[in-house]
Structure 1
């Protein structure tokens, strides 16, 4: 019973991150064996900002390695976040807070989305980038959402 309580406590201390919903994909390279290389489009809602949805497009490597989850995906990604309803903050926002993270290689590489709040301009800024244990990539994309009154 003690170990169950410890596990629940440990999970509650982990940062809340969004999970992505597949929107669509297109094949970019035909592979004879295994899935094709493709670009996937995913959507996720910011877990601490109600009324904001982000759309992320990124490369997925196919082939035999990609089919088994052993391939390393490229670092390129694009992001577009939009206000989709009235904006409401759920909890305290921290600059550079991770809102989405996905593994892009077996062990060493991840793609992340972090959020900043530009208080002077009343704007949320989202940055997507890829990092590695040893060396990350300078390739990134950014999107900004001015927080406006929501009118139906």
Structure 2
């Protein structure tokens, strides 16, 4: 009985990881710019832990920029690229000019994805169109599940109404 539950759990985990890989391959390339960083923990060897702020421009909706702050693990493991960054992040998207919806924009679409560990953990930003309120909602989630729910944060950008 316990082995059946473990096997089902392993199968669900494998399916989730495979779906994440397929989704990651389908995402468009996004412009990313590191805006700045702040050291948070001193490390004797290797770089310090820090909070990094990056800008992602929406590849399909002009004049929308999303700013993501995230934890970046330092030390020796961070220095050689083996550290797993914690699932702590925030998002704020802003209109940098008039925002209009391009034709054929899907109701929900993954727009950015960034790896945060060498083993299948990533931050993903999804755009959701709220047509009733004329707003674009941007949701950031982590592919690493914690107690059944992924960490997440949300922001919204109004669309210019003609």
Answer yes or no: same fold by TM over 0.5: yes
Which of the two has greater helix per residue? Answer: 2
TM-score by structure 1 length?
0.82
Q: Is the 8 A contact 2:27 2:112 kept in 1?
A: no
1:77-116 paired onto structure 2 within 5 Å: 77-90=89-102, 92-116=104-128
Distance in 1 between residues matched to 2:140 and 2:96, nearest whole Å: 20
Which of the two has greater strand per residue? Answer: 1
Distance in 2 between residues matched to 1:92 and 1:68, nearest whole Å: 42
Q: Is the 8 A contact 1:20 1:42 kept in 2?
A: yes
Are 2:67 and 1:55 aligned? yes
CA change 1:136–1:39 in 2 (3 A) is: farther
Q: Is the 8 A contact 2:99 2:158 kept in 1?
A: no
**Residue of structure 2 equivalent to 1:67:** 79
Residues 43-102 of structure 1 deviation map (CA, whole Å, 9 limit, x = unaligned): 011000001111110000000000111000011110000110122444522233111111
Look up the SS of the partner of 1:56 in the other structure. strand
- Length, aligned pairs only: 138
**Residue of structure 1 equivalent to 2:36:** 24
Listed as ranges, the gaps of 5+ residues in structure 2 are: 1-24
CA change 1:70–1:94 in 2 (3 A) is: same
**Residue of structure 1 equivalent to 2:16:** none
Residues 27-58 of structure 1 deviation map (CA, whole Å, 9 limit, x = unaligned): 01000111100000000110000011111100
Distance in 1 between residues matched to 2:109 and 2:57, nearest whole Å: 14
- The runs of at least 4 aligned residues of structure 1 exceeding 4 Å deviation read 133-137
Look up the SS of the partner of 1:78 in the other structure. strand
Look up the SS of the partner of 2:63 in the other structure. strand
Q: Is the 8 A contact 1:75 1:137 kept in 2?
A: no
TM-score by structure 2 length?
0.77
